[in-house]
A and B are shown apart, each in its own frame.
Chain A
């Protein structure tokens, strides 16, 4: 009988507080992740919007190609017009 009461007291005064303490720690850690994931989601969405202009790189590529072609044409003409440094 005495041992039973001692067991009850241990159950109420030790086991229950330990269980509550541990579960509360798990809950707090879990709830702290929620705002972090929401921030990450908003940042990922913003990053995705920032990359909307990446498609313009194709235009940049084409314009760079045309510019280099024009420069090459000018260079070819200058190569014909101007004397070489060695020729002087």
Chain B
């Protein structure tokens, strides 16, 4: 009886140990397979991240270069605008083109934020006067405020001619003229029959 009990106890112990080992094997093998999937996925991630790093490596330098070039352009244009129009009119022009932008001011002129921007009409008139000084046919040149006409007909016009290619002003004596149109034009185009005729009346719709 004792021997049977010892054998039974031993068998039960062996069965328990076998069950524990089987559980260990099943779950550890499953874990190993899952870890292999993770490793394969991380390999793909590393490839993608490597490509991202490789492709984005020059971006910083290129963007910094573009920004520095644009900064130089902004500085030059701001400086030119302020030089030619004056700080107050420059702020007014900017505010006229982009309402509200005057509050931000000019980047290289911190005092521009404190300027009460003038009306755009004032700035525009000023620009028109500049064109008039160039000899253009600006009507404002004749009606401009101040003493006399700002546009010097002879000097200004001749100076403006120097800005253009030497085509119509000097070398060719006679260029073909623009086509003449109108009632007394040499070439009259055929008129349509319905021009001037009474308008066609649509039939009255009755409810």
Nearest residue (CB) in B for A79 is: B80
CB contact between B31 and one of A20, A30, A43, A67 (< 8 Å): that residue? A30
Q: Is the CB of A34 within 8 A of B55?
A: no
Number of A-B contacts (CB under 8 A): 148
Nearest residue (CB) in A for B65 is: A61
Q: Is the CB of A8 within 8 A of B130?
A: no
Interface of A is mostly: helix
CA distance A45 to B24 in the complex (A): 37
Q: Is the CB of A8 within 8 A of B16?
A: yes
Count of chain B residues with Cβ under 8 Å from any Cβ of A?
A: 56
Q: Is the CB of B69 within 8 A of A30?
A: no
Q: Is the CB of A12 within 8 A of B44?
A: no
Count of chain A residues with Cβ under 8 Å from any Cβ of B?
A: 51
Q: Is the CB of A33 within 8 A of B38?
A: yes
Say whether, besides A19-B20, A67-B73, A4 and B56 are in contact (CB < 8 Å).
Answer: no
CA distance A54 to B58 in the complex (A): 9
Q: Chain A interface: which of B82-90, B106-114, B173-181? A: B82-90
Contact residues of A between 35 and 88, Cβ < 8 Å to B: 37-38, 40-41, 43-45, 47-48, 51-52, 54-55, 57-58, 60-61, 64-65, 67-68, 71-72, 75, 78-79, 81-86
CA distance A65 to B65 in the complex (A): 9
Q: Is the CB of A72 within 8 A of B73?
A: yes
Contact residues of B between 1 and 51, Cβ < 8 Å to A: 2, 5-6, 9, 12-13, 15-17, 19-20, 23-24, 26-28, 30-31, 34-35, 37-38, 41-42, 44-45, 47-49, 51
Determine whether B104 belongs to the interface, using a CB cutoff of 8 Å to chain A: no
CA distance A33 to B45 in the complex (A): 13
Chain A residues with CB below 8 A from B130, complex form:
82-83
Determine whether B76 belongs to the interface, using a CB cutoff of 8 Å to chain A: yes
CB contact between B20 and one of A11, A27, A48, A52 (< 8 Å): that residue? A11
Determine whether B185 belongs to the interface, using a CB cutoff of 8 Å to chain A: no
A sample of 20 more A-B contacts (CB under 8 A), given A12-B12, A71-B77, is: A12-B15, A12-B16, A16-B19, A19-B23, A30-B31, A31-B30, A34-B38, A40-B41, A40-B45, A44-B51, A47-B52, A48-B48, A48-B51, A48-B52, A57-B62, A57-B63, A72-B73, A84-B84, A85-B82, A85-B83
Q: List 29 A-B contacts (CB under 8 A).
A: A1-B2, A8-B9, A8-B12, A11-B16, A12-B19, A15-B16, A23-B23, A23-B26, A26-B31, A27-B30, A27-B31, A27-B34, A30-B31, A37-B41, A41-B45, A41-B48, A43-B48, A44-B45, A48-B48, A48-B52, A51-B55, A54-B55, A54-B56, A57-B63, A57-B66, A65-B69, A68-B73, A75-B76, A78-B84
